[in-house]
Amino acid sequence: MPNRLESKHRAMLASVVAERRFDDDDAVELDVLLWESVCDEQPDFDRPLTIPIPRAMYYAAFWLEAEVNNGGFDQFFSNKGPRVALCAMDFLKACGPAPVFGLLEQAIALMPQEWRESAHDDALDYFLDEEDEVRSEAMQALDLEFYELDLIPSFAECRLRLAAQHPAAFFV
pLDDT > 70? residue 127: no
> What pLDDT score does 129 carry?
58
Mean pLDDT, rounded, for 38-59: 90
With a CB cutoff of 8 Å and minimum separation 6, the contacts of 34 are 5, 58, 159, 160, 163, 170
- Annotate 49-65 with DSSP letters as a single string: --S-HHHHHHHHHHHHH
Report the percentage of the chain scoring pLDDT > 70. 94
- CA-based torsion, 29, 35, 39, 41: positive or negative: positive
pLDDT grade for 2, boundaries at 50, 70 and 90: low
pLDDT > 80? residue 4: yes
> What pLDDT score does 115 carry?
85
Domain boundaries, the chain: 7-170
Q: What is the pLDDT of residues 70-107, one digit of tens each?
A: 999 999 998 999 999 999 999 999 999 999 999 999 99
Statement: 7-170 belongs to CATH 3.90.550: no
Q: Determine which of 22-36, 66-80, 118-132 has the lowest per-residue pLDDT on average.
A: 118-132
Mean pLDDT, rounded, for 103-116: 91
pLDDT > 70? residue 45: yes
Q: Determine which of 86-90, 112-116, 144-148, 160-164 has the lowest per-residue pLDDT on average.
A: 112-116
- CA-based torsion, 46, 47, 53, 56: positive or negative: negative
> What pLDDT score does 163 carry?
97
Q: Whole-angstrom Cα distance, residue 18 to residue 75?
A: 35
| 165: number of Cβ within 10 Å | 13
pTM, full prediction: 0.90
